[in-house]
């Protein structure tokens, strides 16, 4: 009792083979798209790797790239197989290879699904990683003379300019860290010494932000020092002024950007997975139809195609038995007195069929 | 007495036709690239119209666009001619078409050549245009409340950050312009009043620059006010400080950007067109000798020009001259006939 049995005439088989050939080539293109998308995302992540603390996103990205590449190869092979399926003689060449090919492809599409779903699961880790990374970069903003950290100022400034954001959660994060290096502080001045003494850790804290926080849409020249002090600037109210600096925090800006990127990659991966699955179903139907044609002996006749020969439960049981018997290969079967030739069918199922028919006609 | 003669046996003709067909497709790609380039250059110039004084520079991208489109059309026909060239039955179709076609091709190739030359020579015009445009833009930086000029501040800020430049010639241009609007100046403060009184026009000038001049690669937080005053900042010397703000002027930055764009157009593309044209002419002349012969595989001669250069020019100009001088020649003839008859 086969699963989803469908009858195929010769014409329908040919059409199916041609369509699958075309779809396989389209699938090669989508494989290339997935590959290049994976590559693009990898480059985007590596551009901002200083801002991401510790977490390793490489496995997911490498999986995407590998999946795209393997999809191309598998679909090239599939295209060749389908091209040959129209002619029964050429099909005989591929007969032994097709079933392993289908099984491998099935597991491979499983990998693709896993990869696509993993893209959606990255958000939590991404948020934590970015929060930590940004905090560290802001802390080391002033250390332009320490090797290994000297480019963090440049990175942070370009980030704030490019993503139009300021600080980690908002611009007030800059008030809690010392972002001006001691090299540029005049320790002989009273004001500087007072500020240093005014907090426990001896940090020079200001209510000011770096120039990269300045909003280019502001109608007035940027106010970056003494931000909370209304009397320091003419016609300025800190609470109502919202065009002066970027309002958004860089954490939120980066999380939004990378989440959007990963979600679109994941959606593309899912669509391609569905497409591959449908191609695989078509190839399975073609394989079973072609094998039944060979079994019947007449290449022009109608044949059945199916997904599984027996129902799902029976197929599972059969496969389980095969696996169980693999373990018993060295044991002798006592039921038949150790004779391996008892209770075996006298002819092979395929292969000899044409010969038998031919010999039968001769007689 | 032909010009640039070459012998063509049958195989060579076949090879010429095939090579030319391939070249014509390459030239179509080249024409498409030319067209896209012209469009890109046009949009780039449009983006920065506010800092350019006049729009004479638009002639360069317009020439590129026209020659690109023409190249696509011309080379498509060249490909068609090649495909038919080897079949003696189909070639005569094109016979009457070829001469005007070659003229058109020559005209458009020279147009491309003119485009390339223009892009080299317009550099000085672009420089002058940028000079005036940027000076005005700097002057209107503060007018964010005047309709029509309210986006100058944003434009200049983005320009300076993107091209990593400051001011027109260099950052000192900002010292000569009032870039802080009066709306944000406290006229009751003594310092403001002093500054305004200290110059003839009553402008508030200071030795400071906007924040968009700040260089993110600098090791220290940006110093944008009191730039020339060494004692106002700790451990700061105006003469030796290079990384604090951008030292390049925006005119120079924009000029080198546009010059690089225009130069990379392509002497390469022009060369391709010339090669296609020459090959097509050889193919045409060598095929013409085959038409009407029984044995199509004979060796023929191909040439670029039937007579030498000066005679060919005269021959082509004659029809044009005839059209213009037509009436005068007729009058003279009529008079001569009238004069001859009574005799």
Task: Indicate whether A341 pLDDT > 80.
Answer: no
pLDDT digits (tens, 9 = 90+) for A221-271: 999 999 999 999 998 999 998 899 999 999 999 999 999 999 999 999 999
From the list A145, A181, A222, the residue facing B211 with the nearest CB is: A222
Half-sphere exposure of A88 (CA within 13 A, CB side): 16
By the CB < 8 Å criterion, does A188 face chain B? no
- Tell which residue, A277, A268, A278, has the closest CA to residue A33: A268
pLDDT in tens, chain B (343 residues): 667 777 777 788 778 778 878 878 888 888 888 888 889 888 988 888 888 887 778 888 888 888 888 888 888 887 887 777 766 677 777 777 777 777 777 777 787 777 777 777 888 888 888 888 899 889 999 999 999 888 899 999 999 999 999 999 999 999 999 999 999 999 999 999 999 998 888 899 999 999 999 999 999 999 999 999 999 998 899 988 888 999 999 999 998 888 877 766 655 566 667 776 777 677 667 767 666 666 666 677 777 776 677 776 777 677 767 777 765 555 555 455 555 554 4
Residue A158 to chain B, least CA–CA distance (Å): 7
Task: Indicate whether A333 pLDDT > 60.
Answer: no
What's the pLDDT score for residue B94? 72
Residues 6+ apart with CB under 8 A from B281: B102, B302, B304
Q: What are phi and psi of B173, to 5 degrees?
A: -60, -30
By the CB < 8 Å criterion, does A219 face chain B? yes
What's the pLDDT score for residue A30? 93
Query: How far is A351 from A345, CA to CA, in rounded Å?
Result: 14
Residue A40 to chain B, least CA–CA distance (Å): 23
Of all residues in chain B, the one with the smallest CA distance to A178 is B221
Mutate to test the interface with B, among A138, A143, A164, A216 (most CBs of B within 10 A): A216
- Please report which confidence band the pLDDT of residue A342 belongs to, taking 50, 70 and 90 as the band edges: low
What's the pLDDT score for residue A89? 78
What's the pLDDT score for residue B343? 44
What's the pLDDT score for residue A141? 94
Of all residues in chain B, the one with the smallest CA distance to A144 is B219
Helix axes B10-47, B59-85, angle to 10 degrees: 160
- Tell which residue, B258, B257, B51, B246, has the closest CA to residue B161: B246
More confident residue, A312 or B239: B239
* Contact yes or no for A219 and B211 at CB 8 A: no
**Strand segments (E) across B213-342:** 300-305
- Please report which confidence band the pLDDT of residue A358 belongs to, taking 50, 70 and 90 as the band edges: very low
From the list A179, A180, A220, the residue facing B181 with the nearest CB is: A220
* Contact yes or no for B211 and A150 at CB 8 A: no
Query: How far is A304 from A7, CA to CA, in rounded Å?
Result: 4
Chain A contact set for B212 (CB, 8 A): 214, 216
Mean pLDDT, chain A, whole residue set:
86
Of all residues in chain A, the one with the smallest CA distance to B214 is A211
Task: Indicate whether A357 pLDDT > 50.
Answer: no
More confident residue, A361 or B307: B307
pLDDT digits (tens, 9 = 90+) for A127-162: 999 999 999 999 999 999 999 888 999 999 999 999
What's the pLDDT score for residue B310? 76
What's the pLDDT score for residue A43? 92
Chain A contact set for B178 (CB, 8 A): none
Query: How far is B281 from B8, CA to CA, in rounded Å?
Result: 13
Task: Indicate whether A332 pLDDT > 70.
Answer: no
Task: Indicate whether A338 pLDDT > 70.
Answer: no
Residue pair A213/A245 in contact (Cβ under 8 Å)? The answer is yes
Task: Please give the structure tokens belonging to residue A106.
Answer: 């099935």
From the list B158, B181, B185, the residue facing A216 with the nearest CB is: B158
Say if strands A6-8 and A303-305 run parallel, antiparallel, or are unpaired: antiparallel
Task: Indicate whether A351 pLDDT > 60.
Answer: no
């Amino acid at each position: 009792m086969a699963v989803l049995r469908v009858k195929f005439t010769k014409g329908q088989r040919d059409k199916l083979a041609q369509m699958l050939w075309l779809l396989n080539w389209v699938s090669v293109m989508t494989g290339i798209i997935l590959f290049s998308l994976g590559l693009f995302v990898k480059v985007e992540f590596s551009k901002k790797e200083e801002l991401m603390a510790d977490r390793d996103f490489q496995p997911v990205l490498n999986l995407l790239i590998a999946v795209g590449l393997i999809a191309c190869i598998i679909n090239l092979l599939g295209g060749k197989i389908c091209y040959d399926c129209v002619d029964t003689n050429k099909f005989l060449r591929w007969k032994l290879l097709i079933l392993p090919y289908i099984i491998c492809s099935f597991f491979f599409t499983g990998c693709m699904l896993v990869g696509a779903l993993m893209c959606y699961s990255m958000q939590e880790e991404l948020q934590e990683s970015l929060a930590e990374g940004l905090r560290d970069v802001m802390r080391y903003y002033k250390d332009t003379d320490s090797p290994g950290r000297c480019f963090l100022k440049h990175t942070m400034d370009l980030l704030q300019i490019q993503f139009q954001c300021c600080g980690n959660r908002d611009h007030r994060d800059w008030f809690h860290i010392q972002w001006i290096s001691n090299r540029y502080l005049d320790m002989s001045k009273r004001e500087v010494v007072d500020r240093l003494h005014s907090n426990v850790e001896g940090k020079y804290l200001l209510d000011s932000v770096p120039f990269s926080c300045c909003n280019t849409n502001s109608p007035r020249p940027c106010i970056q020092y003494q931000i909370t002090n209304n009397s320091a600037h003419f016609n300025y109210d800190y609470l109502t002024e919202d065009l002066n600096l970027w309002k958004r925090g860089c954490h939120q800006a980066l999380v939004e950007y990378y989440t959007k990127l990963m979600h679109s990659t994941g959606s593309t991966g899912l669509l391609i997975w569905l497409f591959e699955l449908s191609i695989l179903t078509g190839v399975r139907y073609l394989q079973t139809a072609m094998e039944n044609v060979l079994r019947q002996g007449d290449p022009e006749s109608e044949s059945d195609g199916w997904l599984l020969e027996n129902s799902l439960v029976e197929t599972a049981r059969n496969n389980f038995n095969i696996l169980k018997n693999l373990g018993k290969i060295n044991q002798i079967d006592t039921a038949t007195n150790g004779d391996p030739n008892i209770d075996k069918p006298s002819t092979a199922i395929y292969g000899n069929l044409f010969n038998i028919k031919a010999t039968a006609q001769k007689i | 007495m032909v010009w640039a003669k070459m012998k063509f046996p049958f195989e060579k003709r076949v090879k010429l036709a095939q090579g030319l067909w391939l070249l014509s497709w390459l030239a179509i790609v080249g024409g498409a690239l030319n067209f896209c380039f012209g469009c890109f250059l046009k949009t780039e110039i449009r983006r920065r119209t506010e800092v350019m004084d006049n729009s004479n520079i638009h002639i360069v991208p317009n020439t590129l666009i026209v020659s690109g489109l023409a190249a696509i059309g011309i080379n498509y026909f060249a490909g068609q001619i090649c495909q038919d060239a080897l079949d003696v039955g189909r070639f005569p179709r094109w016979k009457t078409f070829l001469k005007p076609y070659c003229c058109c091709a020559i005209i458009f190739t020279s147009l491309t050549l003119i485009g390339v030359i223009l892009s080299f020579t317009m550099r000085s015009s672009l420089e002058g245009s940028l000079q005036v445009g940027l000076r005005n833009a700097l002057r209107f930086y503060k007018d964010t409340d005047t309709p029509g000029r309210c986006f100058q501040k944003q434009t200049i800020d983005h320009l300076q950050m993107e091209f990593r430049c400051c001011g027109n010639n260099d950052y000192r241009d900002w010292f000569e312009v009032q870039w802080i609007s009066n709306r944000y100046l406290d006229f009751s403060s003594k310092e403001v009043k002093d500054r305004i009184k200290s110059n003839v026009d009553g402008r508030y000038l200071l030795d400071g620059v906007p924040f968009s001049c700040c260089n993110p690669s600098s090791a220290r937080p940006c110093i944008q006010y009191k730039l020339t005053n060494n004692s106002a900042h700790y451990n700061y010397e105006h003469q030796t400080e290079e990384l604090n703000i951008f030292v390049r002027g925006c005119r120079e930055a924009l000029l080198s950007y546009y010059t690089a764009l225009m130069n990379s157009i392509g002497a390469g593309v022009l060369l391709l067109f010339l090669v296609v044209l020459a090959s097509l002419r050889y193919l045409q002349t060598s095929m013409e000798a085959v038409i009407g012969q029984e044995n199509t595989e004979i060796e023929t001669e191909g040439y670029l020009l039937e007579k030498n250069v000066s005679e060919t020019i005269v021959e082509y100009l004659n029809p044009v001259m005839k059209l213009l001088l037509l009436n005068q020649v007729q009058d003279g003839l009529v008079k001569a006939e009238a004069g001859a008859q009574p005799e």
